[in-house]
Amino acid sequence: MAAHQAAQAREFEGRVALVTGAGSGIGLATARLLAERGAQVVAADRAPAAAAPGPGAGSATGSGALHAVRLDVTEGPRVRAVVAETERRFGRIDVLVNAAGILRPGTVAELADEDWADTLDVNATGVMRVSRAVAPGMAARRSGAIVTVGSDAAGLARTGMAAYAAAKAAAVAFTRCLGLELARHGVRCNIVSPGATDTPLQRRLWTSPEAAAQAVAGDPARYRGPIPLGRLADPADVAEAIAFLASDRARHVALHELRVDGGATLHR
Ligand SMILES: NC(=O)c1ccc[n+]([C@@H]2O[C@H](COP(=O)([O-])OP(=O)(O)OC[C@H]3O[C@@H](n4cnc5c(N)ncnc54)[C@H](O)[C@@H]3O)[C@@H](O)[C@H]2O)c1
């Protein structure tokens, strides 16, 4: 292993990370990667049973460890309690990854008021709740990195995804504004916006055996373009980009939106 690879393999040693949505998909891949690279990772999810290591002492992964906790990002007092408990137990939070998200597909005509409200509550207000609870500690220590998982849908018009796209656009704008306020305190805020990624959230959209291939090839009837790289992302592809932005390798990167979409957005 080259020296720089060895350094990367341990780049989160001694660091503490809080990852929301860590029970599945992109959040789970990110939590595992940060732990493999040395972090103590609090893997928070409203359904933490899926996060593999049960609550308690945590399970070793590489040189770090995963510690699963139950957290619903729509519950303000619980968010504050989990952040306070993490800071008490581990001394600080160096990295926050906002990966919790839901997708309720449906045209605007079909969308129930509660689908709109729930989508905004989890995907946008949830990001605000957790980030606002974590930020003061980072600012006081003049160090920290926040990475919000956006979506290519935030910047593209999509049929059947108005609530999701609006919520993701809000999360992206919020994270950039927060990043501006925190930059002077030595805290970096960035966004990773995935395109179609092979996770349970994506698979729930697949209504036919051809759906996965169609997601790659594009679907003119739904105004969806193809993915130029010709494949869906793996959660690990997205986790790698998140880890980069959370690491010191990105020490001069702030307020940036990194798309991991195989080129699907085409421009910008
Ligand atoms: N999969 C894709 O194609 C894709 C594309 C772009 C963006 N994203 C975004 O990536 C992120 C991760 O999605 P994924 O594809 O891994 O989905 P996923 O469904 O596999 O994982 C999402 C996780 O978030 C958790 N969660 C949902 N609501 C929560 C809440 N209120 N509080 C705490 N946890 C909650 C779920 O329990 C689940 O474990 C989401 O923000 C999603 O919007 C996914």
Would you kindly state where each structural domain of the chain is located, as residue ranges?
3-259
- What is the pLDDT confidence band of residue 209, given thresholds at 50, 70 and 90? confident
The residues, any chain, with a CB within 8 Å of residue 74's CB and separated by 6 or more, are 118, 121, 122, 125, 126, 129
**With contact defined as beta carbons under 8 Å apart, do 86 and 18 qualify?**
yes
CATH of domain 3-259: 3.40.50.720
The pLDDT of 110-115, averaged and rounded, is 97
pLDDT at 51: 46
pLDDT at 54: 41
Q: Note the pLDDT tens digit of each residue in 61-103.
A: 567 999 999 999 999 999 999 999 999 999 999 999 999 999 9
Which of 198, 199, 202, 259 is the pocket-test mutation for ligand 1 (most atoms within 8 Å of CB)?
199
At residue 175, does pLDDT exceed 70?
A: yes
Kindly state if the Cβ of 100 falls inside 6 Å of ligand 1.
yes
Kindly state if the Cβ of 137 falls inside 6 Å of ligand 1.
no
**Cα–Cα distance for residue pair 251/36, rounded to 1 Å:** 21
**With contact defined as beta carbons under 8 Å apart, do 230 and 162 qualify?**
no
